[in-house]
Amino acid sequence: MSSLKMIIGLGNPGPPYSNNRHNIGFQCIDLFARRHRLDLGKMQMQARIGDGWVQRQAQGQLQRQKVLLVKPLTYMNGSGQAVNQLIRFYKVEQAEIIVIHDDLDLDSGKLRLRMNGSSGGQNGIKSMIEQLGSQEFARIRVGIGRPPGRMDPAAYVLQDFSKAEEEAFGILREKICDAVECWLFEGLATAMNKFNG
């Protein structure tokens, strides 16, 4: 393992948004950084980034993979601008990126890894597809469910997780980080088999 892999979490910058449903991508990047003692203090190309090595023991061997963690600071709808600049700067192949984002069409608390596909109305993914000119990048869709009653979806995604949800999503964030590690060392097909249950 040597080529750089980019792990992107989508969200909106700033404290008012930090615990929103829409910011699950940022939340997972923060957790992954803590887990692997990676510093997210650097600013580059309209994004907060952190780079370093992720290691794990497997079959008695130490495996290492260089990663770049990315939190675009362009607000959700402009996520592609920051990501596209970083991909060009670091010369990362699209096959070496994975994006973590919230998904209204997936039941709350479910996760789905997929190889490619349309944005499904998720504006951060839509922006990335427009900027990259391609849908061919891996993603982890994190289900937040549909809003209750006639609530506006835009208002719903910008709400913080409820106390009850937070308990389940605390566990889910750990699982998402496990899925990212699996993708890093074993590839997307294996990660899909293991985590799309």
Do the Cβ atoms of 12 and 23 come closer than 8 Å?
yes
Kindly indicate the confidence band of residue 58, based on its pLDDT and cuts at 50, 70 and 90. confident
Give the Cα separation of 123 and 106 in Å (integer): 16
* Mean local confidence (pLDDT), 67-82: 97
Domain that holds residue 106: 5-195
Question: pLDDT digits over 20-39, tens only?
Answer: 999 999 999 999 999 999 99
Give the Cα separation of 186 and 103 in Å (integer): 25
140-161 CB burial, b ≥16 within 10 A, e <16: bbbbbbebeeeeeeeebbbeeb
Give the Cα separation of 7 and 4 in Å (integer): 10
List, by residue number, the catalytic residues. 22
Question: pLDDT digits over 160-185, tens only?
Answer: 999 989 999 999 999 999 999 999 99
Beta bridge partners of 6: 68, 97
The full DSSP string for 102-143 is EETTS-TT-EEEES----TT-HHHHHHHHHHT---SEEEEEE
Report yes or no on whether pTM surpasses 0.85: yes
State whether the Cα torsion 59-185-48-175 is positive or negative: negative
Output the six-digit token pair for 14.
């700033």
Q: What is the pLDDT of residue 104?
A: 94
Average pLDDT over the chain reads 95
* CATH number for position 29: 3.40.50.1470
Domains identified in the chain, total number: 1
Give the Cα separation of 86 and 48 in Å (integer): 11
Place of tokens 């592609």: 80
Kindly indicate the confidence band of residue 1, based on its pLDDT and cuts at 50, 70 and 90. very low
